[in-house]
Amino acid sequence: MPALPSGRDAPPEKELSGRNLLLGVSGGIAAYKTAPLVRRFKKAGADVQVLMTESARRFVSPLTLGTLSEREVLSAIFPDGPGDPESEGGAWTKHVSLGLWADLFVVAPATAQTLAKLAGGFSDSMLMATALSAQCPLLVCPSMDRDMYAHPAVERNLRTLSGDGHTVMPAARGELASGLTGPGRMPEPSAIFDRVAAMLSDREEEKGKREGPRTAGGTEPAQAKPPPYPLADRRVLVTAGPTREPIDPVRHLSNPSTGTMGFALAEAAAQRGAAVTLVAGPTALATPPGVERVDVETADEMHAAATEHAAGADLVLMAAAVADYTPAAPSDAKLKKDRQNGDALVLRLHRTPDILAALGEKKPGGQRLLGFALETDDGPTHARRKLREKNLDWIVLNSPTREGSGFGTGANEVTLIGADGREEAFDRMPKRALADALLDRVAASTEAADAHRGT
Ligand code: CTP
């Protein structure tokens, strides 16, 4: 079987060395978290220019961020006037030169106000004007109170930004400064750092592809830049998270899946222009921008929702960790440990539907189906068997026993196996970066198949 080159192999720090980063900070409480972020960027060898909105300056001192970044923080487009050394020298054009200078622009935290301005194309501060001028990818990290984050206007602005080709990192869920709990927290600086590293690495890879691989005999012809929305007009179904199989009204059988991989795939597919439906088991994750979410609990409910939405889908990505067995007769009343059951409770379980196998059996012509295989031993053999038996186009083999991979971790180390016999082993990388890598492979192969069929 031909082995394809491995995906990303540099540790995240390496990706930042010698890069120029813009960090836009807007006025939310999470602004204080940008101090460790700047420090980490600098330690990794990046040159960092901080741009703050006026209200951000109330939350964190420009002196702090200026000292950490070793560059004067910029806020207003027009400096203060007479006496300001920059006012004479045309400093107002700085947004243009910064936009050309940067390899990546991160806006963190991005408040509701800043999101609205970014989505609307405003240019009333150095941050906004530079965002309009920037010739590099933009990563937006929203942060605000729970109910603001759920407001349709904010959701609309996030969709607009995704649709414009920018990357939105969904807010994390947890305790908020207001005392409410829910999605709205700025992702942790370490998660933002990893995403920045992954985006820089992707950019380098794309550049490499455009310039063409170097061979012993010289340079091969440059490849065309991939289209910005390779999944435009495609309908994509993703399943994610665990299922819960009730034992009685207060207990269930489940597994430790957090849904991170499936949510990352849904977000990555939406960013590539697809109309995405995400069928999600119980998880704490916020819905990625632009994604339609259907919440389910049990394997039976997931089966029904997946079957309904798979009907019109071009691509189905089954990342859910579906329980294989469910209690045969869940009790309507809470089971008591004394009277009914004595010292040993025996549960009778029956098989749940294998959703992936069912979809594979009914797969309409033209639909592509990707499954996951979670194996603790002899992974490749089991994965290839599942690929064949479930009529899949690809299977992603992962091993939860590998350190730092699998359930409940932010990273994964997988092998993508195609029905055409191609295999590609990816190094361990953040799940969101892995979602990008997987979708790039899937989208490229879908395009090639379409071109072959003449559609
Ligand atoms: N899957 C599914 N429905 C099930 C069980 C699994 O759709 N009832 C899907 C998962 O979403 C995953 C794939 O099947 O994409 C493989 O899941 P995995 O747990 O690795 O394997 P199983 O097919 O359940 O086989 P086994 O438990 O014997 O390893």
> Residue 371 CA: which ligand 1 atom is closest?
15
268 with 375, same domain? yes
Query: What residue's CA is closest to ligand 1, atom 13?
Result: 372
- pLDDT value at position 446? 72
Instruction: Give domain status of residue 30, yes or no.
Output: yes
Range of the domain at 402: 235-330+349-454
Instruction: Give domain status of residue 216, yes or no.
Output: no
Instruction: Give domain status of residue 215, yes or no.
Output: no
179 with 257, same domain? no
Instruction: Give domain status of residue 444, yes or no.
Output: yes
Strands (E), 171-323: 172-175, 181-185, 214-215, 218-219, 235-240, 245-248, 251-253, 275-280, 291-295, 315-318
CA 373 to chain centre: 20
In eight-state DSSP terms, residue 345 is -
Regions in the chain scoring below 50 on pLDDT: 1-9, 81-90, 213-226
195 with 247, same domain? no
Domain boundary among 201, 220, 247: 201
Report the CATH number that the domain containing residue 265 is assigned in CATH. Answer: 3.40.50.10300
Instruction: Give domain status of residue 159, yes or no.
Output: yes
Torsion (CA) 211, 215, 219, 222 in degrees, nearest 10:
-40
How far apart are the C-alpha atoms of 24 and 30, rounded to whole Å?
A: 13
CA 290 to chain centre: 13
Structure tokens at 29: 């409480």
Contacts of 221 (CB under 8 A, 6+ apart): 212
168 with 285, same domain? no
Give the tens place of pLDDT for each residue, 311-347: 999 999 999 999 999 999 999 999 888 766 778 888 9
Instruction: Give domain status of residue 146, yes or no.
Output: yes
How far apart are the C-alpha atoms of 197 and 433, rounded to whole Å?
A: 9
How far does residue 354's CA lie from ligand 1's centre (Å)? 7
195 with 267, same domain? no
Instruction: Give domain status of residue 12, yes or no.
Output: no
Structure tokens at 348: 């009778």
Show the ligand 1 pocket: residues with CB < 6 angstroms: 299, 318, 320, 322, 324, 352, 354-356, 371-374, 386
Instruction: Give domain status of residue 102, yes or no.
Output: yes
How far does residue 317's CA lie from ligand 1's centre (Å)? 12
- pLDDT value at position 217? 36
User: How many domains, in total, are found in the chain?
Assistant: 2
240 with 306, same domain? yes
Ranges of H-type helices in 70-188: 94-101, 112-120, 126-133, 146-149, 152-163
Domain boundary among 183, 201, 219: 201
Residue 341 annotated as catalytic: no
175 with 306, same domain? no
- List the Cα angle 315/318/323 in 5-degree steps: 155
Report the CATH number that the domain containing residue 108 is assigned in CATH. Answer: 3.40.50.1950
Catalytic residue, chosen from 20, 255, 391, 412, is 255
98 with 195, same domain? yes
283 with 414, same domain? yes
Domain boundary among 147, 181, 201: 201
194 with 285, same domain? no
143 with 279, same domain? no
178 with 269, same domain? no
In eight-state DSSP terms, residue 291 is E
Residue-wise DSSP of 373-402 = EE-SSSHHHHHHHHHHHTT-SEEEEE-TTS
How far does residue 373's CA lie from ligand 1's centre (Å)? 7
Q: What pTM did the predictor assign? A: 0.59
